[in-house]
Amino acid sequence: EQRNNDSNQTTTTMLHADFETTFKCGYCNMSNVEFKERLFKVTSQDQRRQTFVKQWLEIDMTLLEFIRKYTCIIAHVYCLKMELDSYKSYIDRTQSEYLWLSQLRKMRMKEDNIDENFSETQKYIRYQLRITEQSLSKAITKLINCIQNQEAISGSSVMDMTLLKAYIITFVRQDYRELHDDVEQKKRLLLLKANDVRLVKEFFDLKPNSIQISLARSIWRATIREEETKNGKEYEMSERWNHDLNEHAFNDNKNEFSFDQETCQLLQYVDLNGFSELIDHMDSTDQINEDLKQGISHIRDHFMKENYVLRTSYKGYSLHIFPSNDFKLLCSDYIELTGIYKFIQNMDTIELIEHDQFLFNIVKQVQTKLDDLFCSNCITQRQYDQMRISRSEVELSYLVFALNTPVKGNIYTIRPVVVCNKGPTMRISRYLCNLLWSLFHQLTGCRTFRNGVDVIENFESYARNNYLQSTTLFVTFNIHEICMNFSHEIMIKALEHFLLIYGTQVSMEEELAIETILQLVRLVLENQMVLYGSCLFEQTRGNASGCPLTIPLACIYLCYSQPALMSVLIAQKQQELFGRFQDNLFLTWNRSEDQLHFLFGKPIVVDRHYQSIQIKPFIGTSFHFLDVELSHNKGHLHTRIYHDAVMDQYQLPNQFQAERSSCLPSRLLQSMLMYVVRCCSKEQSFDYERRYLKLVYLLYGFSENFIDNCIEQFYKRFYACEVNYFVDRIPYETLRRRVMKRHAQLVIILFLCYDPLNLLDYTMVDQINQAIDIVVPWMDNMDDNDDDDDNEKIINLSGDEINERRPLYQITRKKYLNIIRQQLQTNNRILLPTYNLYAYYSCELTLMQQKVHEHMTRTGAYRLIMELDQTNPYSLKEFVKKMNNDIMKKLNCVLHNKLITYAQWKQMSTNRSNSQLNTLYFLPDTRQANVPFHPMVRCHHHLTMNISHFLNRLLQPIYDYVTFSTTFNTGADVIDAVERCFDEIFFTWNDSEQRLHDVLHTINRQLLNMPITMSISNDINCLDVNICHLDGNLKIKVVHQLNTEPYSLPYVVGHPRHKYHSLLRAALLRATRCYANVFDFVNELVDIQLSFQYNRFSNDFIIDQIQLFLKEFGESQMNVHGGEKFYDQSLYDHLRHHVFKYHQREKD
């Protein structure tokens, strides 16, 4: 059926038609007797509720009419939600295939037996999705109005109505179960087409050679014919193949290639020897991680034979060997002695169905509670959507134990960790965490630290504000025991007290009643089921360590138990620094140490039997946190890197694991140096860390010359040295200030790009205004043919795509810009794309208007003709029509006098159907001082556009011949011209500079309205390259705008802005032709890689493109994973030679 020409719309319209029939619900047309019979028949299994409902409906006929109306609306909403979920599910599951196909030609699709109507199906479903969203919004409005009108019904209590509405929701779901199953089946049929495309795409991701491609196509066509012969029009092969691929051929989570006896038919006949290159060039990080996992697996298997276990430590990344029996005994003793976990049952003794039913009961209990709160108007639709459960993704949480670092000798302690990312109450926990933490933050000023550098930056800000005194004490304490042991009953009382006392003193972002919050918290605490081995436990005290709600509840419990501490935190939140990282809390103190001991002296009761724990704070003038150490000496703050004597011995620090995915060792070293500069407040500490890093690299086998070159490049990157970094360096404070400034700018850019939904935070506008004017990378598309796409041209990676070998681009556009523009408009600011840069510029609206007015007044280039009435489009049409008649009258006159031929007249004639007036707008030029605004005229459809094109083709060759000039389209053209003949391209001068100024002055006097400004120097920027000479030696390099790059994509003159897939190749071509030295090329390569990573391209995609570029020009030996071989000058010279030959062929 998929191969039919009309199958594109058949399944889709059939899917939509089912929903159309459900909208015409028959409940309202039934008689009262028929409706009640239908209601009680469908819900016959719920006898208890049915009895109460029968009593209510028999007594009050008005109530019956309300229930019928309510049922009709609920059915309408349910069907629309079912339709909306189906459309969203289809789009989510086919987005990558749709984007992949958008880059293929129709001929290629035909060769690969891909249905050409697949894209049309996607567009049709997107169209239906928008319609359904609008219909759902209207239906929800009707539902809200219906619920609000229930007060007119007499004789029913609020509790009765709540139960009734919950009963009706259950009735509608059961009544529409058959339709739901039918829709799911048709949705699966519709996805068969996407499975076909996905199979082809995964095959080509393997980089097969031409023989394998031809063989696969023939196998595919033969299989289609065979299946059509056997099964007629039914086609299920693609679903089976896709299942085989997912189950046997590939494991996407591990990116590993494997085969077994059940490998799918398509790849079964392909020669696997051709895939050796693929395996050899797999992503380095995934390969290293896989090798590491295999190595650990072998070690673990070895120790298991010897009755030992291998366990990770709770903090850090070390592995520990432990006797198996002793570790099991340690874990069982912890469960027994603490009494936190209550045994429920052994899961090995029950069937799989019973196991699923147990999880289903928990999910049902949570979902029923949310439904009841929603139906009783305790939570809004948006809150309900944020907290509701996705049943297909829910799993039971499980308990594991990690080892703490040994306290003394070989004495170990263990720490329970509950993995609950997909628990039944996780979405409720996340919502409540944000709500409660917002209240606690506003009251106490408590900050959340993300890493060690974040702690340093906060303490340095504290010191700059003169709060750090010679008597200041640093206080650190841990609340893990509170998290694991607090009583649920006391916790509810503490939370209620907190909300009643302090809830009215701060602004709550979400309107939620106190009783509702308490019910939700109680729901989370009462549903803490965890699996440990094959046993099911219930956590009866505390909250799961992996739950986001745990820390806010523990902090509230602490302040409830220590009211004096809460009062101090509220009173001193402006003067003192208070923050936390996970369950570690930090506090500065400028009072006496005795008062501090008094605040923490009271024991904290954790259960009904008055069992208590004692908080033991660490008090002093220094402390270490993660990988940093902070101290102060008489009010002078000192920070540096902290090294664990055991775990960090000659190992790369663990905070650089993200950077280790980089292909370039030089990039990793420079990232480490940046991190060290941010952490070390004194130059002596930085010098120590620099020597330490050098030693680590030497131990890893890198040469001293390579390391010194990398360090020198780091200094040059921040203009910190001119000749040698050992001698000619700027002061360390200046270097650190530059590094910190660059990182602060980067944080805002990444925040805007990676977390767009949180842009509505009240501090965002201040951050944008104070830190940087360039706020987001260039994301617009200049192609006018793409006007029909509502969501396009922003590169984004979803969570499911991060682990894949190739990036899948999810195109989302207006979500970012609209949110940012709304925020800026509230502060009377405007966001504009910049002139000739991949960036946006933010400035005050009045400043922009002032600069535009000054430009128009100074140049006198524009004259006001008339003011058009925007409310009357007829006046604009008449004006365009009059201009068109005047132009055509003059052209006809020229033709009549035989001054032009008919063919020329036809080329210059206007096209009345799409003719428009020009549009004038101004773009900021951030490359110049004071950011002037450059006038731009959009004239693609102007009346004289055809005449302009004709005259340009006529006059340009004449101008080029007379002036011996060349039109440069790209910076590469400039390089080529300069290398060929220096003094024929640019205006060179060998006379005195005063004589040159006299000539320019004479020219400017003759052109009063067009003053000419020129740059006179031996060092100039032209387009996107810099050209200079020193004693006649020419040197060329790429120009970088420091206020936008690397936060925006590299700007390559002449390259289309919207073609991201080829932009990286264009940047590499430019860099290769510019730089003759391999280290200069590598430094430029690092900047290119940074730009693409900051703009959300996956590292896999970047590495693949670099490797393809090297392979294309015959230098696959310059492998990015090849260490020092990548810096071989002879290999790089060979690469440049091939690039120049390629460019010459392109020109010819």
Size of the chain in residues: 1148
Number of Cβ atoms within 10 Å of the Cβ of 669 = 24
532: β partners: 535
Q: What is the pLDDT of residues 165-212, one digit of tens each?
A: 666 777 777 777 777 777 777 777 767 767 777 777 777 777 777 777
Instruction: Describe the crossing of helices 158-175 and 177-205 by its angle, rounded to 10 degrees.
Output: 60
Query: Where residue 267 falls among pLDDT bands split at 50, 70, 90?
Result: very low
Res. 779: pLDDT tops 50: no
Number of Cβ atoms within 10 Å of the Cβ of 98 = 18
Res. 608: pLDDT tops 70: no
Average pLDDT for 15-37: 58
Q: Distance between CA atoms of 765 and 748, rounded to whole angstroms?
A: 11
Res. 466: pLDDT tops 70: yes
Res. 814: pLDDT tops 60: no
What local confidence, expressed as pLDDT, does residue 324 receive? Answer: 79
What local confidence, expressed as pLDDT, does residue 260 receive? Answer: 30
Give me the percent of the chain exceeding a pLDDT of 90: 0
Res. 659: pLDDT tops 50: no
Q: Distance between CA atoms of 117 and 98, rounded to whole angstroms?
A: 11
Phi-psi region of 968 (alpha: psi -120 to 50; beta: other; left: phi over 0): beta
Instruction: Indicate the domain borders of the chain.
Output: 7-193, 206-280, 281-312, 320-628, 652-730, 732-827, 968-979+1020-1148
Q: What DSSP designation does 919 have?
A: E
Least confident of 14-28, 503-517, 1045-1059: 14-28
Q: What is the pLDDT of residues 891-911, one digit of tens each?
A: 888 888 888 888 888 888 887
What local confidence, expressed as pLDDT, does residue 307 receive? Answer: 75
Minimal CA–CA distance to 863: which of 926, 920, 944? 920
Q: What DSSP designation does 878 have?
A: H
Distances (CA, A) of 672 to 665, 794, 964, 1091: 11, 30, 52, 18
Average pLDDT for 473-496: 87
Res. 803: pLDDT tops 60: no
Report DSSP letters for 726-772, one per residue. Answer: TTSB--HHHHHHHHHHHHHHHHHHHHHHH-GGGTTSTTHHHHHHHH-
Helices assigned H by DSSP within 102-157: 106-111, 118-148
Report DSSP letters for 1065-1088, one per residue. Answer: HHHHHHHHHH-SSHHHHHHHHHHH
Res. 21: pLDDT tops 70: no
What local confidence, expressed as pLDDT, does residue 113 receive? Answer: 64
Highest mean pLDDT among 132-136, 200-204, 715-719, 766-770: 132-136
Query: Where residue 972 falls among pLDDT bands split at 50, 70, 90?
Result: low
Res. 776: pLDDT tops 70: no
What local confidence, expressed as pLDDT, does residue 1132 receive? Answer: 84
Q: What is the pLDDT of residues 1111-1132, one digit of tens each?
A: 888 776 776 655 566 777 888 8
Least confident of 128-132, 159-163, 507-511, 555-559: 159-163
What local confidence, expressed as pLDDT, does residue 411 receive? Answer: 67
Backbone angles phi, psi at 538, to 5 degrees: -115, 130
Exposure letters 882-898 (e unless 16+ CB within 10 A, then b):
ebeeebbeebeeebeee
What local confidence, expressed as pLDDT, does residue 836 receive? Answer: 62
Res. 994: pLDDT tops 50: yes
Res. 1050: pLDDT tops 80: no
Average pLDDT for 993-1014: 72
Q: Are 784 and 235 in contact (CB under 8 A)?
A: no
What local confidence, expressed as pLDDT, does residue 117 receive? Answer: 62
Query: Where residue 647 falls among pLDDT bands split at 50, 70, 90?
Result: low
Least confident of 43-52, 465-474, 513-522, 1080-1089: 43-52
Minimal CA–CA distance to 787: which of 667, 940, 660? 940
What local confidence, expressed as pLDDT, does residue 272 receive? Answer: 31
Res. 4: pLDDT tops 50: no
What local confidence, expressed as pLDDT, does residue 441 receive? Answer: 84
Q: Are 209 and 411 in contact (CB under 8 A)?
A: no
What local confidence, expressed as pLDDT, does residue 245 receive? Answer: 34
Q: Distance between CA atoms of 235 and 193, rounded to whole angstroms?
A: 10
What local confidence, expressed as pLDDT, does residue 1086 receive? Answer: 78
What local confidence, expressed as pLDDT, does residue 164 receive? Answer: 66
Mean pLDDT of the chain: 70
Res. 410: pLDDT tops 80: no
Highest mean pLDDT among 482-491, 907-916, 935-944, 1006-1015: 482-491
What local confidence, expressed as pLDDT, does residue 1009 receive? Answer: 59
What local confidence, expressed as pLDDT, does residue 262 receive? Answer: 30
Torsional sign, CA 1053, 1055, 1060, 1065: negative
Query: Where residue 627 falls among pLDDT bands split at 50, 70, 90?
Result: confident
What local confidence, expressed as pLDDT, does residue 149 receive? Answer: 66
Res. 14: pLDDT tops 50: no
Lay out the sheet containing 618-620: strands in order across.
447-448, 578-581, 584-589, 473-478, 618-620
Res. 398: pLDDT tops 80: yes
What local confidence, expressed as pLDDT, does residue 1125 receive? Answer: 64
Give the global pTM.
0.47
Minimal CA–CA distance to 440: which of 386, 520, 503, 525? 503
Interior angle at CA 811, CA 807 and CA 812, nearest 5: 135
What local confidence, expressed as pLDDT, does residue 172 receive? Answer: 78
Q: Distance between CA atoms of 776 and 793, rounded to whole angstroms?
A: 13
Q: What is the pLDDT of residues 435-452, one digit of tens each?
A: 888 888 888 888 888 778
Least confident of 126-140, 163-177, 969-983, 1085-1099: 969-983
Minimal CA–CA distance to 712: which of 670, 742, 750, 741? 670
Average pLDDT for 656-673: 57
Highest mean pLDDT among 89-98, 345-354, 821-830: 821-830
Q: Which two tokens stand for residue 690?
A: 């620099």
Highest mean pLDDT among 47-56, 759-768, 1068-1077, 1113-1122: 1068-1077
Q: What is the pLDDT of residues 845-892, one digit of tens each?
A: 888 888 888 888 888 888 887 776 655 656 677 778 888 888 888 888
Where is pLDDT greater, at 536 or 1055?
Answer: 536
Res. 145: pLDDT tops 50: yes
Query: Where residue 407 falls among pLDDT bands split at 50, 70, 90?
Result: low
Res. 1043: pLDDT tops 70: no
Average pLDDT for 326-330: 83
Res. 112: pLDDT tops 70: no
Amino acid, single-letter form, for residue 1113: F
What local confidence, expressed as pLDDT, does residue 390 receive? Answer: 74
With H, G, I as helix, E, B as strand and everything else as coil, classify residue 632: strand
Q: Distance between CA atoms of 471 and 593, rounded to whole angstroms?
A: 10
Amino acid, single-letter form, for residue 985: I
Q: What is the pLDDT of residues 555-584, one digit of tens each?
A: 888 888 888 888 888 888 888 888 888 888
With H, G, I as helix, E, B as strand and everything else as coil, classify residue 424: coil
Res. 936: pLDDT tops 60: yes
